[in-house]
Amino acid sequence: MDEKSLRQVLKGSDLGQEMVRIADKVIKLERISPEEGLHLFENGSLPVVGMLANYIREHKHGDRTYFNRNFHIEPTNVCVFSCKFCSYSRLYAHREEGWESDIEQMMDKVKAYDGVPITEVHIVGGVHPKMNIHFFADLLRKIKAHRPELHIKGFTAVELDYMFRKANLSREEGLRLLKEAGLDSLPGGGAEIFDPEVREIICADKVDGEGWLDIHGTAHRLGMHTNATMLYGHVEAYKHRIDHMQRLREQQDRTGGFNTFIPLKFRNHDNEMSDVNESTMIEDMRMYSIARIYMDNFPHLKAYWPMLGREQAQLSLAFGVNDIDGTIDDSTKIYSMAGSEEQTPAMSTSDLVNLIRQVNRIPVERDTLYHEIRNYVERPMDADE
Ligand code: V47
Ligand code: SF4
């Protein structure tokens, strides 16, 4: 929708004075303040925040909707931490209930994709007390030796913080070591909610918000790109979501290396927070919309379909989202174990392309750093692909 039509629609809606003022700022592409962000959460109806978010989305990316071809390696689900929302991990004392892969098993997984045109491997897992930085550096070197062009996006700031402390390395030394071994970028996990009081309730024992931001800032200074997540829809209040996004926005102003913001909806199956209700679909779409409006210096907003489900991911493309992650095979267990509809998350490229086309957007395959590999409207799929 162009600026004139958007202004006309908003004029016809019965908006309060404050909402009119904020909407005007958004349309002029001005940054909104934390107070204005909170006003959107507390008073913004889905149609209004959705239209504004879609305006920003189309201003930044038009109809382009990105995905990539990737697969996951989850080295272990044994974890020294005990986040209350986690359905996936097993404590070291109960490690016989979990899994632990050695380098050879993980390399077999990499080799299974020989000849398949994937561009990224995403490595993420629990924090195992016996898998140290040298073990992972060895894995990275072996992956690069086998397939040098494969982009390795690996290890949350939580895993890194633990590895570096155990090896007595500073964050910069640790990141340099892994970068030299082949690590290309960091995923966005482990951020949860930065506010210390909420963190104390949901994940008291892992790296705090400052530490998470410092690891990402250090990675940016070393020339690596990273993502950022926010786990929402549990015990936090709107002000905590704003605080989280504000800290990320400030970090991005300082170091500029974030590619994508990924709001993650809390799923309540089989974890210590199962008594907390999940957010509604309307609340999820409001979350994406306000994230798109607030995070003005983040180029991309991602809906992670294995967690959200395909139909909601498709719907999110009208509410600010311009990326739906990758083709992923059944190697990620984080969400199926937490109650996602996607029990064995796998979508072929043609499934993803169709899903995006059905809502009149343009499917674009990208690499991890958003270089375009193929525009599927300019170059549609052949019947035999
Ligand atoms: O940090 C764990 C989340 C994250 C639950 O950077 C849960 O491209 C909801 O960060 N309900 C790890 N969420 C996954 C992650 C990620 C995923 C996809 C792409 C990227 C990227 C990053 O999963 C954790 C935590 O916030 N999580 N349990 C749960 N019950
Ligand atoms: Fe461990 Fe990550 Fe689960 Fe927390 S969310 S318990 S750090 S695997």
Q: What is the pLDDT of residues 371-380, one digit of tens each?
A: 999 999 999 9
Q: Point out the ligand 2 atom lying closest to the alpha carbon of residue 203.
A: 4
If one compares 327 and 197, the residue with the highest pLDDT of the two is 197
Per-residue model confidence (pLDDT) at position 335: 54
Q: Is the pLDDT of residue 342 over 70?
A: no
Going from the Cα of 128 to the center of ligand 2, the distance in angstroms, rounded, reads: 10
Mean pLDDT of the region 233-247: 98
Q: Is the pLDDT of residue 134 over 60?
A: yes
Closest-CA residue to 215 (of 165, 287, 288, 141): 165
In percent, the amount of the chain with pLDDT more than 70 equals 95
Q: Hey, whose CA ends up nearest to atom 5 of ligand 1?
A: 86
Residues in Cβ contact with 321 at an 8 Å cutoff, skipping those fewer than 6 apart: 57, 65, 288, 292, 301, 302, 303, 313
Per-residue model confidence (pLDDT) at position 330: 45
Per-residue model confidence (pLDDT) at position 334: 53
Q: Cα separation of 233 and 275, whole Å? A: 13
Q: Cα separation of 353 and 64, whole Å? A: 12
Per-residue model confidence (pLDDT) at position 382: 85
Per-residue model confidence (pLDDT) at position 153: 98
Per-residue model confidence (pLDDT) at position 12: 83
If one compares 332 and 24, the residue with the highest pLDDT of the two is 24
Per-residue model confidence (pLDDT) at position 287: 98
Q: What are the residue ranges spanned by the domains of the chain?
A: 3-61, 65-375
User: In this predicted model, what pLDDT tens digit does every residue of 62-106 receive, in sequence order?
Assistant: 999 999 999 999 999 999 999 999 988 888 778 888 899 999 999
Per-residue model confidence (pLDDT) at position 182: 98
Q: Cα separation of 119 and 122, whole Å? A: 10
Q: Hey, whose CA ends up nearest to atom 9 of ligand 1?
A: 266
Q: Specify the CATH class of 65-375 in words.
A: alpha beta
Q: Hey, whose CA ends up nearest to atom 15 of ligand 1?
A: 189
Per-residue model confidence (pLDDT) at position 97: 84
Q: Point out the ligand 2 atom lying closest to the alpha carbon of residue 192.
A: 5
Q: Is the pLDDT of residue 237 over 90?
A: yes
DSSP conformation class of 78: B
- Ligand 2: residue of 78, 83, 307 to mutate (most ligand atoms within 8 A of CB) is 83
DSSP conformation class of 208: -
What is the residue-averaged pLDDT of the chain?
A: 93
Going from the Cα of 133 to the center of ligand 1, the distance in angstroms, rounded, reads: 22
Q: Which residues face 154 on adjacent strands? A: 123
Q: Which of 106-120, 152-166, 250-264, 332-346 has the lowest mean pLDDT?
A: 332-346
User: In this predicted model, what pLDDT tens digit does every residue of 288-319 receive, in sequence order?
Assistant: 999 999 999 999 999 998 888 889 999 999 99
Query: How many H-runs (helices) and E-runs (strands) does the chain carry?
Result: 15, 11
At residue 89, the 3 state secondary structure works out as: coil
Report H helices in the chain.
Answer: 3-12, 17-27, 34-43, 46-61, 103-111, 133-146, 157-166, 171-181, 196-202, 209-221, 238-255, 281-294, 305-308, 310-316, 349-358
Q: Is the pLDDT of residue 385 over 90?
A: no
User: In this predicted model, what pLDDT tens digit does every residue of 210-233 receive, in sequence order?
Assistant: 999 999 999 999 999 999 999 999
Per-residue model confidence (pLDDT) at position 326: 81
- Ligand 2: residue of 79, 123, 161, 269 to mutate (most ligand atoms within 8 A of CB) is 79
Mean pLDDT of the region 115-127: 94
Residues in Cβ contact with 144 at an 8 Å cutoff, skipping those fewer than 6 apart: 150, 152, 181, 182
Mean pLDDT of the region 129-156: 97
Mean pLDDT of the region 248-275: 96
Q: Which of 34-38, 345-349, 371-375 has the lowest mean pLDDT?
A: 345-349
DSSP conformation class of 95: G
Q: Hey, whose CA ends up nearest to atom 8 of ligand 2?
A: 126
Per-residue model confidence (pLDDT) at position 179: 98
Q: Is the pLDDT of residue 336 over 70?
A: no
Per-residue model confidence (pLDDT) at position 353: 92
Going from the Cα of 189 to the center of ligand 2, the distance in angstroms, rounded, reads: 10
